[in-house]
Amino acid sequence: MRERFRVWETIVVHWGDMDALGHVNNARYFTYCETARFRYFGEIGLAELGEGGRYGPVLASASCNFRRQVHYPATLEVGTRTSRLGTTSFTMEYAIFLAGTEELAADGSAVVVWLDYQAGRSLPLPAVLRERLGALDSPAD
């Protein structure tokens, strides 16, 4: 399953990521995916497409399946890819592994919309962004 992903982020779990049940809290996985997403955005040079911060990505939805409990200390590896290209949005997929193993801790997805931040309105994905996402991950339409 790892071979589906070309962009990876390593996450070192904080002790404080655990909750009162003694395992990593569900909300923290969304932060892990967010950090992986920004790594991915860095890989494709997304920031330079936003015309000085006027346009950029915003999350429309996020989901995560918790496959195994994770406890501190742990290191995780998050694979990230774009699985679908829409008109004003794209869908990303994540797989979170225990580092150096094939053990899947969690997987998830997110829909990212291209936004005019001031106007709060979605815009068509820039052509350059479509090309870069396409070249990296060959997402479905």
Q: Which long-range contacts (CB under 8 A, 24 or more apart) does 17-26 make?
A: 17/72, 18/71, 18/72, 22/71, 23/69, 23/70, 23/71, 24/69, 24/70, 24/71, 24/72, 24/74, 26/64, 26/66
Residue of 4, 6, 14, 54 that binds a copy of itself (CB under 8 A):
14
Find the part of the chain contacting a copy of itself (CB under 8 A) among 5-13, 44-52, 85-93, 127-135: 5-13
Question: Would you count residue 25 as binding a copy of itself (CB under 8 A)?
Answer: yes
Question: Would you count residue 75 as binding a copy of itself (CB under 8 A)?
Answer: no
Chain residues binding a copy of itself by CB under 8 A are 10-12, 14-16, 18-22, 25-28, 30-32, 34-35, 38, 42, 58-66, 69, 72-73, 117, 120
